[in-house]
């Protein structure tokens, strides 16, 4: 069974895709954005919340987690805030880089 997972540390983000792990260095990430994703089922009216990394080369990479329904928005915002804090701490322009 595959589980969605994102690991964040000093060197950047590491996350699981369908077939492999992928790594993004903090310096490659311009910003972390929160996205509202419409549910694939039209009977579900509330969007899902998801995080995307906007990269310096102009591409955007959707992260597998956090991904949550609107009911869990507070937990989603907390996790996104933690990722943004790490990006500021270890990304381009931080002290010690």
Evaluate if pTM is beyond 0.85.
no
Least confident span in 12-26, 47-61, 81-95: 81-95
The predicted structure's pLDDT at residue 47: 66
CB 65, CB 4: distance < 8 Å: yes
In tens, the pLDDT along 3-23 reads 667 888 888 988 887 778 899
Beta-sheet strands, E only, within 1-97: 6-9, 12-16, 21-25, 29-37, 48-55, 60-69
Give the pLDDT of residue 97: 39
pLDDT for residue 70 is more than 60: no
């Amino acid at each position: 069974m595959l589980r969605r997972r994102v690991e964040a540390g000093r060197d950047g983000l590491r996350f699981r895709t369908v077939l492999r792990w992928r790594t993004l260095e903090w310096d490659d990430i311009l910003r972390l954005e929160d996205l509202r994703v419409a549910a694939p089922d039209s009977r579900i009216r509330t969007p899902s919340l998801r995080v995307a990394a906007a990269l310096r080369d102009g591409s955007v990479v959707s992260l597998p987690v956090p991904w949550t329904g609107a009911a869990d928005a507070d937990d989603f915002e907390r996790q996104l805030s933690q990722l943004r804090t790490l990006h500021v701490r270890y990304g381009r322009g931080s002290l010690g880089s």
